[in-house]
Structure 1
Amino acid sequence: MQETTTLAPEATAPAPDVPAGGEEAAGPGRPSLWRSRNFLLLWTGQTVGELGAQISTVAVPLLAATTLKASVFQISLLTFLSWLPYLLFSLPAGVIADRVDQRRLMIWCDLGRMALMASLPVVALVSELSLWHLYTVVGLTGVLTVLFNIAYKSKLPRMVEAHQLVDGNAKLSMSKDFAELIGPSISGVLIGLVGATRTFFGNGLAFLVSAVTLFLIKEPPGAGPVERDAEEQDRTPLRTQMTEGLSFIRRQPILRKILACTTTSNFWVMAAGSIEVTFMVRELRAPSWMVGLVFSVSAVGGLAVGALTQRISQRVGTARIIWVSMAVPGPLYLLMPLAQPGWGVLLYGLGLAAFSANAVLYNVAATSYQQSITPTQLLGRVNASFLWICYGAIPLGALTGGLLASALGLRTALLICVLGTWSAALFVYCSPLRGMRDMPETAPGEER
């Protein structure tokens, strides 16, 4: 699924005299992220956190289906509740992230999520766990996740130099692909050993590790929250503050195109995702172990490209790679609806691997561009606006995939979905990005 993701190392705000997308360690003034204690702490914590998230992705529906005997519709509500906070809370969360110390906000979000996850096995041990308790945990965890994601997306440009943005985003994106590769397997082993309920102690531990690594980060002077004048904050209505991110995006033609591309891609990717397991099981008659193998193959694509993202971006151009990464892998998506029974199901995995590679390149480049041109004091609200719109398309996409499959059949519906995903490239191809090689450090007419 396409999204704009980020994170953070050491140093202060981006240096204006360093071109974005340059060589990572070209000289004494351009230190490697491998030597940044802050970045390594953050990277470690987020890797563990992503692993915990992947464990819960499997454990939550299994807990509902097996222990709580939930119906198919009741299980589907868990997915709905996990994404609903992005629609309801993204814009106010952006205002909060711009007003408070973002590192402390992230720590409190991690501790809150740890407590919520640990409550599941604790309640199960002392009394009977209910489906409503699980709904509450999923919904509240979703709210804290929205706050956390917006805060850490806004924190990175304040902690790294401009030439480190692409590399930092790429390394953190690799963590997600690594977690997607091994997380479901670890979840399956834990569930088999201790049961679905006790598995959530592992989730709680992952959030605790993330909180500890954030606590150990030593911020340099000037890396704290960017405060507005108190009187100006009081004079500005909350509704106006919530929409300032949208107003900034509206004034930036490239950001508008990136937003349209990401939203379109999310819509069709989720439409495909809502029917892909059913397609492999019913149409391709794939056993469960082969379905798992398909998803592991897809994660390899993101990991491989993630390790080379910095070099690829430098070779192609940090701005040009945004539309190239969306357009070039498109034909390989057609391998998914062309997959056949038997070992031919791996064609689906190859198509997914191409998309995973595209997602890493696109997400890193698009996020780095967004960070590099957005004024520091608006980062939280701009990130919130992106999440509000891009993730708002996800439940609609899932519904569309099911409707198409019911009306046209699984294979035809999947073909429409992958063509829709590829069509998202048109937004960034038909934009000023086509005439640019590298990203600017500030938007025209804007100051950081």
Structure 2
Amino acid sequence: MTALDDTTVTAPPPLRRNRDFLLLWTGNWLQFFGSRMSSVCYPLLALQISGGSAEAVGLAATAAVLPQAVVQLPAGVLVDRWDRRAVMRWCAVGRILALGAVGVALTLGALGMELLLALIAVEVSLAIISSLAERVAVRTVVPGGQLPAALSQNEARGRIAGLLGGPAGTVLFTWVRWSPFLAATLGALVAAVNLRFIRADLRAGTREPGRALHRDLADALRWLLGQRALRAMLPVVTVSTALLQVVMQGLVVILVKEQGLPEATLGLVLGISGCGGLLGALGARWFMARLPLSVLLIGGLTLWAALMNAMAWARGPVQLGVLFALMNIVGAVFGVATAVYQVTVTPQELQGRVAALSGLVVALGTTAGAFCAGKLLEAYRGLLSLLVAAGLMAVTAAVAALIPAVRRARIPDAARPAAPPATPPDT
């Protein structure tokens, strides 16, 4: 018997047999699917309540976006201080009450704009807090070597919910106005029940009692600024996400306004592109096992620039849908890779705050990008706007390639998926 025989290491079970991960994943998938259904119905509900006011639709959209800026930072501190299981459970209970209140008030004819906007803000805020807590919990219930697969499955979960949740929500809303909110309530209920049966210890580490919130945030910001790769990648990802808004809004302008196609055509394009995002999420682990993070990020931005340039010259919904699907494949791959990198290099006690800080920066960039994209498309139409955005994306890729910390960025070996071994030649 050799020393190696005495120290055999038992491999962790695959994710499909990881009970805690499956409970967390399925519960939050149903909850996320419910969020997709309810979010697509909020503007429709605002339009109905207001008697067809476009301003009311804008207010509903604002109520859904505003928590991204207001709630992120305190949510990050909360997640790092409290038991993540309790945080997710109480968020699920809160969402059950908020979504149930929408359905009940709607049934009783008592739902006004003020109440709707308040309930939207509450429900979205609780979803943000729960999402941060789940992201931290994944690292606890999944071994480091399985993190890429776990986060890839989470990304795929979001893509599937995006593909199916919107259409399902609109169909249910057309059938019975309160039905999508009931379905979302049931999803949150399942998530709350699943959390009860997770065995892993999801409590946060010890902390200094009575510590001010701003001191906790300052600790996370100080750590983040001390990480050269993360500090460099965050603005690169933020700028690229902002430029992506030109594509999102440009599809509407090109298809409906400039090419005169029916509005339903946009659904076809988004359906094709959504399939691309799902493929990218499922294939992210394969790419991560073969390419370093720097290649995935810089190469992904370069491909985005080329595809945006091609979209400017594309004609017809199928061509635009296929090109946008390719963009979604690329985005899902380097999105999962950067998420794995952030989760693995961030200390466990800072996970929530670092994720919140990063999410806030990207959200602010997305908001600014959406505003500037509208101005750009108004001034220069679809073709020229896409060409401008493609040029700026190419510049972003070049800048990223010039930053040494980005070029040297590597996912830690403990979290890097192993490439399949080469087959030995026959002898």
> Normalized against structure 1, the TM-score is what?
0.84
2:380 counterpart of 1:408: yes
Counterparts of 1:35 and 1:363, CA distance in 2: 26
Counting only pairs closer than 5 Å after superposition, residues 182-261 of structure 1 correspond to structure 2 as: 182-195=164-177, 197-220=178-201, 223-228=202-207, 230=208, 233-234=209-210, 236-261=211-236
Counting only pairs closer than 5 Å after superposition, residues 73-88 of structure 1 correspond to structure 2 as: 73-88=55-70
Q: CA deviation at 1:440?
A: 5.6
Q: CA deviation at 1:390?
A: 1.0
**CA distance 1:79–1:386, change in 2 (3 Å):** same
Q: CA deviation at 1:248?
A: 1.1
Q: CA deviation at 1:275?
A: 4.6
Counterparts of 1:291 and 1:117, CA distance in 2: 29
Please tell me whether the aligned partners of residues 160 and 278 of structure 2 are also in contact (alpha carbons under 8 angstroms). Answer: yes
Partner of 1:48: 30
**Residue of structure 2 aligned with 1:291, choices 263, 266, 269:** 266
Please tell me whether the aligned partners of residues 117 and 204 of structure 1 are also in contact (alpha carbons under 8 angstroms). Answer: yes
Counting only pairs closer than 5 Å after superposition, residues 69-218 of structure 1 correspond to structure 2 as: 69-195=51-177, 197-218=178-199
One-letter amino acid of the counterpart of residue 45, structure 1: G
Counterparts of 1:255 and 1:159, CA distance in 2: 24
Partner of 1:383: 355
Partner of 2:3: none
Q: CA deviation at 1:42?
A: 1.7
Counterparts of 1:287 and 1:49, CA distance in 2: 32
**Residue of structure 2 aligned with 1:371, choices 317, 325, 343:** 343
**CA distance 1:322–1:166, change in 2 (3 Å):** farther
**CA distance 1:60–1:296, change in 2 (3 Å):** same
Counterparts of 2:106 and 2:126, CA distance in 1: 23
One-letter amino acid of the counterpart of residue 402, structure 2: C
Counterparts of 1:92 and 1:376, CA distance in 2: 17
Which SS does the other structure have where 1:129 is aligned?
coil
Counting only pairs closer than 5 Å after superposition, residues 252-291 of structure 1 correspond to structure 2 as: 252-291=227-266
Segments of structure 1 that go 5 or more residues without pairing to the other structure are 1-26, 443-448
Any idea what the Cα deviations from partners look like across 1:117-159, whole Å, max 9, x if unmatched? 1211201222332122221111112221221122122222222
2:286 counterpart of 1:311: yes
Q: CA deviation at 1:177?
A: 1.0
2:411 counterpart of 1:434: no
Please tell me whether the aligned partners of residues 93 and 384 of structure 1 are also in contact (alpha carbons under 8 angstroms). Answer: yes
Please tell me whether the aligned partners of residues 34 and 40 of structure 1 are also in contact (alpha carbons under 8 angstroms). Answer: yes
Counterparts of 1:172 and 1:406, CA distance in 2: 36
Counterparts of 1:414 and 1:253, CA distance in 2: 31
One-letter amino acid of the counterpart of residue 79, structure 1: A
Which SS does the other structure have where 2:203 is aligned?
coil
Any idea what the Cα deviations from partners look like across 1:397-439, whole Å, max 9, x if unmatched? 2211111122222332233334444544345433334245543
Identical-residue share of aligned pairs (%):
26
Worse-matched range after superposition: 208-217 or 93-102: 208-217
**CA distance 1:422–1:137, change in 2 (3 Å):** farther
Please tell me whether the aligned partners of residues 301 and 357 of structure 1 are also in contact (alpha carbons under 8 angstroms). Answer: yes
Q: CA deviation at 1:372?
A: 1.0
Counterparts of 1:176 and 1:419, CA distance in 2: 29
**CA distance 1:278–1:114, change in 2 (3 Å):** farther
**CA distance 1:418–1:74, change in 2 (3 Å):** farther
Q: Indicate the structure (1 or 2) with the bigger Cα radius of gyration.
A: 2
The structure with the largest helix share of the pair is: 2
Segments of structure 2 that go 5 or more residues without pairing to the other structure are 1-8, 416-427
